[in-house]
Amino acid sequence: MKEDARPIPVPEPSAVSAPYWDATKSKTLTMQRCVKCRRLVWYPRFVCPHCGGDELAWEPLSGRGVVYAVSVHHRPALPAFADEVPYSVVLVDLVEGARIMSNVFGTPPEVGDEVGLAWVPLPDGRNLPTFERR
Ligand SMILES: [Zn+2]
C-alpha cells in the first residue's frame, strides 16, 4: 500500500461523526454502540436506528472481517481515483457484527475473503479505513 497522503475526497467531520474521525488520526476504527439495546450503530448517528435509544457510546473495533459483497471499478468514479483503478467498493461484515462499506485498493477481493484494515493517510492527518486481504 502507498504510504503517501492522498487527496481522496472524504466527508468533513460533523458534530456526530467527529469522534469517529478523531480516532482515525491514531488509526483506530471506532463505532457507536447503543447503551440501551447494545447493538452496534453504523454510520454515526444521534439516535439508535434499532431501538430509538439516544445514548450511544463509542468503542474501538478490531478492523477484522469478511467480505460480504464486492463491486470492482475499472473506471474511476472521481478524478482522484484515476491512479487507483482497478479498485473495489466492498461491504465488510466486521467480526463484531456490523457491516461497513469501504474500499479495497489493489487486487480485488472475493466474497468470503478475510480482510483487515489498511489505513490510507489523508492530507489533514486523518486516515481513511480501507481493507486488504489477510
Ligand atoms: Zn438501541
Q: How far is CA 44 from CA 31, 49, 74, 94, in A?
A: 7, 10, 30, 16
Confidence of residue 24 (pLDDT cuts 50, 70, 90): very high
Instruction: Give me the half-sphere count of Cα atoms (radius 13 Å) on the Cβ side of residue 8.
Output: 24
Question: Rounded to two decimals, what is the model's pTM?
Answer: 0.89
Q: Are 89 and 103 in contact (CB under 8 A)?
A: yes
Quote the cell numbers at residue 93. 461484515
Ligand 1 ion: residues within 5 Å (CB) = 34, 36-37, 48, 50-51, 53
Q: Are 72 and 100 in contact (CB under 8 A)?
A: no
Distance 40 CA to ligand 1 centre (A): 8
CATH class of 62-134: mainly beta
pLDDT digits (tens, 9 = 90+) for 56-106: 999 999 999 999 999 999 998 888 888 889 999 999 999 999 999 999 999
Q: What is the CA radius of gyration of the chain?
A: 15
Residues of the chain with CATH 2.40.50: 62-134
